Amino acid sequence: MKIRILFLFTLILVQQVWAQDQQLRENIPVHDPVMIKQNDTYYLFCTGRGIGMWSSKDMQHWKREKPVFAEAPAWAVEAVPGFRNNHIWAPDISYHKGTYYLYYSISAFGKNTSAIGLATNTTLNPEDKDYKWIDHGKVVESQPGRDRWNAIDPNLITDSSGTPWLSFGSFWDGLQLVKLNKDRLRVAEPREAYRTIASRKSEPTERGNNPIEAPFIIRKNKHYYLFASIDYCCKGADSDYKMIVGRSKNIEGPYVDKAGVPLAKGGGTLVLQGDQNWHGVGHNGIFSEKGKDYLVFHGYDANDNGRSRLRIEQLNWGKDGWPVPVVVVEQ
């Protein structure tokens, strides 16, 4: 009898939690968000068990959807010992010729035992009969002792000739860029050809001495703009995350800041930093709609014990072609 009562209590609790998640919510808790729109619905993907997924009609009120993966991809368990679908990191979403491409990160925390995988879908609407994520396995992998970069935080960019590229990286030797095959499923270059496009150090360094990560590249006004996050996330009230930017007329770089300093040599023009209401702010994606650009990122709420929250702020551009520093507006 006690076992039956306990089972019923647990079932009711699970149902209540799920019902709460189906309610529309504001100021949702996320890390590393990216956003895209299909028809009249915005879809947001973020770090979380199985890859977190949310939907919204207005970018303010959000409904939690089921995770992308119910179980960990088999290849990920093999690549990262001990991984069991707990917190797949930093997804990136894009659309190309009828297919949505979702790159994601698998890693051992604090190590470059890491890999970037890819899943695709023809729709993002979970109610659509064709909704099904197909995993294509590993795209890029880093290993301790072999690689001086870390294969996490992917972002896809297509250059002016239609060639797809993947930027990625966190700490170690900084942010990397590699060309992909036309099908976007695999890299088209050997590891020796990967390019370091941003770093806080002018020379190779160890993991903890180069706090830069989360590249995001957009093409605008005849330039490629590289956004990145520097300093430290994930420390709640002690986070001092910031966003920087540089630009180049060539997808391969060199990317330089407003003062002309290469990002690969420690440069970077400040876009956004924390204030009295938000501690660290960073790991941004960029979403564009109707001629407007938006920064999609997470910040550590100074008024809620440093908990991480979703932030969406309009990104404006100056007459000189550079982003105008963002001022976070309290909602």
Report, as an integer, the average pLDDT of 87-109.
Answer: 95
Q: What is the pLDDT of residues 181-240, one digit of tens each?
A: 999 999 999 988 999 999 998 665 666 689 999 999 999 989 999 999 999 888 888 888
Q: Is 32 a catalytic residue?
A: yes
Burial class of 239 by CB neighbour count within 10 A (0 to 12, 13 to 18, 19+): buried
Cβ–Cβ < 8 Å for 153, 170: yes
Give me the DSSP letters along 80-95.
Answer: STT--SS-BEEEEEEE
Per-residue pLDDT, 2: 45
Of the listed ranges 93-97, 143-147, 246-250, 260-264, the one predicted with least confidence: 143-147
Task: Give me the catalytic one of 92, 213, 257, 301.
Answer: 213
Q: How far apart are CA 11 and CA 4, in angstroms?
A: 10
Q: Interior CA angle at 266 toward 252 and 278, to 5°?
A: 105
Question: 281 has which bridge partners?
Answer: 299
Q: How far apart are CA 215 and CA 225, in angstroms?
A: 10
Task: Give me the catalytic one of 32, 141, 147, 173.
Answer: 32
- What domains sit in the chain, N to C, each tagged with a CATH number? 30-315 (2.115.10.20)
| Helix, strand, coil percentages, rounded to 5, for the chain | 10, 45, 45
Q: What is the pLDDT of residues 263-312, one digit of tens each?
A: 999 999 999 998 888 889 999 999 999 999 999 999 999 888 889 999 99
Q: How far apart are CA 261 and CA 225, in angstroms?
A: 14
Q: Is 213 a catalytic residue?
A: yes
Q: How far apart are CA 115 and CA 108, in angstroms?
A: 10
